[in-house]
Structure formats: structure tokens, C-alpha cells
Structure 1
């Protein structure tokens, strides 16, 4: 049974618990021919104004950059063998602001509210100002949380989602 939630807070605890447990997400983008491409990454999430906002510290590879330039819509999928799952549909945007990179760096270090971070210094040794560090802001428009014990599905959609 699927229930639509008016407020993200109704699913926030399960969202955080499942992401903290699963950690790795499959991120899917599409190329200019509409073909999907998936890769496994670790985004971090925070709640801003009652809504989830995601951040992805990543390398700006030619494929990822081209896909997002052509279509900024991305999908993130978390799954565990216990059948707990989170699906997040977002719009992604590259952010180059150093203060935001510092904020994202700290979220990863603090493991984010969902508990899925790590030490970014393992990959970007010069800290938030490292020229190889790129950040994607992930603006969710739809989040689905599925509890594996009874396959209960709850969906939140942003008010401005179309």
C-alpha cells in the first residue's frame, strides 16, 4: 500500500535510518539519447526548511558532466536485502562556491544527519579548496520510503513538483 505524505517530516526518521544503514546509493543519469547510466556513490542529506537537500562530493567526469548538462534530473536508489528502500528523484546542479564546499565537507565529516558520510580528505587532500573536488546540489522533488517488513510505501512530493 502506498500513501502520499504532505510533509517530509512524516517520513524523515525512516529516510535517515535507511540511508544511514545502507550508505551507498545508485545514481542514475541519462545521456543525450535518453539511455540511463548508473554509478554507485555516497551523497549526504540535510533538511532545510522542512525539505531534504542532498549534496554529492564527486569528480566532474566528462560523462557525468555531459549527462547533467543535457538533463539535470537524477535518480538515487538505496536498497538493503531486508527490502528497506529509499528512492529519491532530484534535480542536480553543480556548485562551485567555496563556502558551500566547506559546508558539504563538514556534512560528510559529521556523517550528515542520515549517517552516511566519510572523510573526503581521503580523495581530496587539499580540503574544500581542492581543484578536483566538485559538488552537486541535489534538490529532491519526490522521495519514496519502503519498509521491508510489510512493504509499506510512503511518498513525499515537493509542492512545486510537476
Structure 2
């Protein structure tokens, strides 16, 4: 099996449209990390997502706050959860790593400007007026190892969520 493809479960292509629809309509995700004592910390942010082949990748343009940096240095696992009042949910369990490559920063900047998926994103210049080279603009690469989608009609009929799992080590 190639890197990023499914392992005993749903192919990402089978839930991508619903994942993109939920992300694009909700926009804001709750990001949860844990500290060195195992205590969770949540914050609300806007990641952007793209898919190459069967492999989704998330990106987070963010400030490198001391708490976020310390949590991810100790444990790079994070969860991004989306919930809409229509009872559509999506969550991505990821390994998050800082990526300071100038080309990546420009790429992520453009993903935010155009909305990826459509509906998600914003003009990052409102937060980082210096553009993708602004010293306060940092990028987290989000490599999902598990993505779960549950739409309202599935919830009310008792259908289990659809889950994609990566075969990448996590």
C-alpha cells in the first residue's frame, strides 16, 4: 500500500466531499493539544486543507505561541474538530510539525487567500501585514493519521461515522 492510503477502512476519496463541505461551512476548528502532564488545551483556529492523490494534508498559519510550541515539542499529536449546528462533524487527528521553508510559507499563504477547501480561509494579511515573510507568520504542517466524518442524517439513523486512516507511522 502506498503512503497515505487507507488501512482497513474507508478511502479518503469516499469521505472527502463531506469533509470539505463541513470544513468549508464551519471554517473554525477547535485545535486540541496536550501539555507535558497530559492536560488538554484547546484553541479555535482556521486550518486549510489540500489533497494530493489520496493523501490529505492540513496547514495552519499561526502565531508560534509559547504554549502551542511547548505542547507540540513534547507531543506533536493534535486534533482539529469541526461541528456545525446542523449536526455535521469532522475531525482530523494529526501530527503537527513546524515548517519554516519560505516556499511552503508562500504556498500556505495562497491557500488561505483562495480558501482551501472553498469557504475556509481568509486574508492572512490582516494578521501578518508583512506577507508570507512576516516574522510572526508561522506554518504548521498537519499530517492526518485519522479523519472522521459524521453527517446529521447518519447520526439520526444510527450509522457509525466514516473513518479514514493513514498507513503513515504516527
Confirm or deny: 8 A CA contact 2:80 2:91 kept in the other structure: yes
Q: Give the gaps of 5 or more residues in structure 2.
A: 1-7
- Count of equivalent residues: 159
1:61 aligns with 2:65: yes
**Structure 1 residue 6: deviation in Å?**
3.6
TM-score by length of 1: 0.94
1:109-159: per-residue Cα shift (whole Å, max 9, x none)? 010134300000000001000000000000000000001123141000002
Moved over 4 A (4+): none
Q: Partners of 1:24 and 1:5 in 2: how far apart?
A: 27
Aligned residue number for residue 44 of structure 1: 48
- Who is 1:99 aligned against? 103
Unaligned stretches of 5+ residues in structure 1: none
Question: Counterpart in 2 of 1:149?
Answer: 153
**Contact 1:11–1:145 (Cα < 8 Å) also in 2:** yes
Contact kept? 1:15, 1:114, Cα under 8 Å: no
The DSSP-based 3-state class of the residue aligned with 1:150 is helix
Over 3 Å counting, the alpha-carbon distance change for 1:15 and 1:114 in structure 2 is farther
In the alignment, which residue of structure 2 is the partner of 1:22? 26
Supply the RMSD in Å over aligned alpha carbons. Answer: 1.2
- The residue number in structure 1 matching 2:92 is 88
Answer whether contact 1:45 1:114 (CA < 8 A) is retained: no
Alignment match of 2:121 (pick from 114, 117, 142): 117
Alignment TM-score, normalising by the size of structure 2:
0.90
Structure 1 pair 13–25 and aligned structure 2 pair: CA distance change class (3 A): same
Which residue of structure 1 lines up, in the alignment, with residue 4 of structure 2?
Answer: none
